[in-house]
Structures are given as C-alpha cells and as structure tokens.
Amino acid sequence: MTAFARALMREIAETGGIGVDDYMRRSNAAYYAQADPLGGAGDFVTAPEISQMFGELIGAWIADLWQRAGTPAPVQLVEYGPGRGTLMTDALRVARRLPGFAAAAQIVFVETSPALANLQRAAVPEATIVAAHDEVPAGVPSIAIANEFFDALAIEQQVLVDETWKERRIVANGDLLRFDPAGDTIRECSPARGEIAAAIAARIVDYGGAALIVDYGYANGETGDTLQAIRRHEYVDPLAHPGTADLTAHVDFVALEAAARRAGARISGPVSQAGFLTSLGIGARAEMLMQRADGTQREAVATAMRRLTAPDQMGALFKAMALTAPSWPLPAGFPA
Ligand code: SAH
C-alpha cells in the first residue's frame, strides 16, 4: 500500500467516513501527481493518444472558428487537463497553417499534476501552465478545449434508503473500504463540474470565445452508479487502489449544459464523437494519411479511425458539446 493510501485509510477510519466526492478528489490528485498514466504503458488511452487525427481535426475546428470570428488577436487557446500535450501539439500543427494564427494565439494549460505539467512543457514549450481556471488570464477572447477532463472531476453520490436519498459515503472496515449506507439505487451529481462549466461559460460570454467539451457520458440525464476505476487498462474496484487507479464517472451533459446556459453561453450538441469527427471530415483525413502510408501504417490508420468512431468503441459513448459566446459564430461539427 502507498503512503497516500495508508494515510487516507487511517483518516477514513478515524473520522468515520468521507463523501464519494472527497474520496474521488483526493485519490485522483494523488493519482495524477505520481506519474504519466496515459498510453500503452500506463493505465488508459485517450483519443489524442490513439491518433494524430483527433487533435488535427480539433485544430481545423479552432482555425475555422477563429477565422469566422474575424481573426481576433490576441486569442487565448486554453486547454483543461491536457495530459501529455498531444492534442494541442497536433491541433497547433494544423491551426498554424492559417496566416496570422500563430502570431495571435497564446497557449494556456490548466493542469494540477506536476508530472504531466513537465510533459506538457516539453511538448508545447510556449504554453503557460496554471493550476486552476481562476488563474487563466482574463480580458481576451478564448477558445477552450477539454478532452476527458470533466470525467476526472469529483462526483457526489446518493443512495435510496427507505424511500429517502442519503449521501453515499466511504467507510473503513478493517483494511478494506466500503460504501455506506448499502443500497443499489444510486444517483449522482457533480457541483465541481457544474462550477467549472459555469466559469468557462462566463469567461467566454464576457470576453468572447468558445469551448469544446469532449467526454464520455450521458446526453439525456440518466442516472445510476457510474463511478469506475481503471488500472493498467482493466476495470478494478474503485475502493481498492486509492491513488494508483484512475477514478472517473460518466459526465452528465444535461447538467453541464444547464450550468453553461445559466452563465449566458449558447450550446451546440451534445452529439456523438462519431458524428462530430465525421462532420469535421475524419473520413477524408484518414484516406489522405492512408495514401501516403505503407501497408502497416494503413492498417494503423484504419484501426484508429474505428476506435474513435465505431459505436461499440468510442463513437457513441463519447460526446462532443460546444459553448459559444452570443457574439461569436457557431462552431463546425454540430447540426445547425
Ligand atoms: N486531455 C488529455 C488527458 C486526459 S486525463 C487526453 O485526452 O489525453 C485527465 C487530465 O486532467 C490530466 O491531465 C489530469 O492531470 C488533469 N486533471 C485532473 N483533475 C484536474 C483538476 N482538478 N484540475 C486540472 N487538471 C486536472
């Protein structure tokens, strides 16, 4: 057991329990601080790590929007939870082909993990890295990106006991953790996610801009227990490895949308990741890459395209939603 897990277990035993939100927040802070969890050798793989096409299409999405907004300069490109910096690297390669974009764009990363911030600094040396949304400089238009960021933010759970909703907490049972009270009828909410969605929306409403949120989750507000832990590409018990497994939960897009709308943003989507990437031209992009490739590389492009868009892979469970300032044009990739 790690020192973090031991300390957390002791605290849970001494205090009589903590909320699911507290558990998730603290476990993930320890988890993301320790090392690089992404990629084949890590615990899980994300869309930008599957293929350069993902970041490149988002780069084209950014460039198109910036151009139709009248090429504001400066413009801030803000990425929340940028992982290894791969998405931004691929996006910038494409967006910078547009004259004037490179000179106008200021890159800001919002990242809490020192380990990942180091990788981001190496990948995108010109980026300014801050630890929270509040530290993102205000006053200029911004285009924000968040891929698999919201799913890592803490959720609260409630469990139905004798027809009353009670907070679901985590208590210690000797050396094991368990949920309390017991019960199978569970609902979730996430003030932490709503708060950040509202803050991002308020920022773009005030200074102009847009935000693209891509994540896995619900587009129609279903509920139930969706807390999950992944370690070395396998699902594990969310209570078994605090600080050494990635804890996430389905993103409730209805809740994010409501928070952003209250702050004055316009909403596009959510649409499926397959719908979004197809509409941005992933088919043509894949074909172009295949034309230049040998047999093995062609196979890799086809496999990547399938993983990103097939309904039984990431295509349907993952969704894209955009927020825009009323003064900005609507973004590409969503039905009009
Ligand atoms: N977007 C990347 C990484 C996704 S993993 C990709 O698609 O590959 C989640 C990312 O969010 C990591 O970079 C993690 O360190 C970061 N993160 C998690 N909680 C955070 C928080 N509260 N504030 C800022 N970043 C956070």
SS (H, E, C) 30-43: HHHHHCCCECCCCC
Confidence band for 223, pLDDT divided at 50, 70 and 90 = confident
Report d(CA 304, CA 124) in Å as an integer.
24
Cα(147) to centroid of ligand 1, in Å? 8
**Which residues are bridge partners to 310 per DSSP?**
none
- Of 5-14, 87-96, 219-228, 266-275, give the lowest mean pLDDT range: 219-228
What is the atom index within ligand 1 of the atom nearest the CA of 37? 5
Question: Who contacts 290 (Cβ-Cβ below 8 Å, separation ≥6)?
Answer: 297, 298, 301, 302
Q: Does the C-beta of 111 come closer than 6 Å to ligand 1?
A: yes
| Cis ω before 270 (30° cut-off from 0) | yes
Would the pLDDT of 142 be above 80? yes
The residue to mutate among 112, 151, 212, 273, having the most atoms of ligand 1 within 8 angstroms of its beta carbon, is 112
pLDDT value at position 175? 85
Would the pLDDT of 174 be above 90? no
Q: Does the C-beta of 147 come closer than 6 Å to ligand 1?
A: yes
pLDDT in tens, 22-50: 999 999 999 999 878 887 788 899 999 99
pLDDT in tens, 44-71: 999 999 999 999 999 999 999 999 999 9
Cα(146) to centroid of ligand 1, in Å? 9
Q: Does the C-beta of 123 come closer than 6 Å to ligand 1?
A: no
The residue to mutate among 26, 57, 113, having the most atoms of ligand 1 within 8 angstroms of its beta carbon, is 113
What is the atom index within ligand 1 of the atom nearest the CA of 192? 22
Q: Give the Cα-Cα-Cα angle 245, 249, 254 (nearest 5 degrees).
A: 160
Q: Does the C-beta of 37 come closer than 6 Å to ligand 1?
A: no
What is the mean pLDDT of the segment spanning 135-156?
Answer: 98
Please compute, for residue 261, the number of CA atoms within 13 A of its CA located in the half-sphere on the CB side.
10
Cα(12) to centroid of ligand 1, in Å? 26
Cα(129) to centroid of ligand 1, in Å? 13
Its pTM surpasses 0.75: yes
Q: Does the C-beta of 112 come closer than 6 Å to ligand 1?
A: yes
pLDDT value at position 189? 96
Tokens of 334: 């969503």
Cα(323) to centroid of ligand 1, in Å? 20
Q: Does the C-beta of 116 come closer than 6 Å to ligand 1?
A: yes
Q: Does the C-beta of 34 come closer than 6 Å to ligand 1?
A: no
pLDDT value at position 336? 82
Confidence band for 241, pLDDT divided at 50, 70 and 90 = very high
Report d(CA 148, CA 87) in Å as an integer.
11
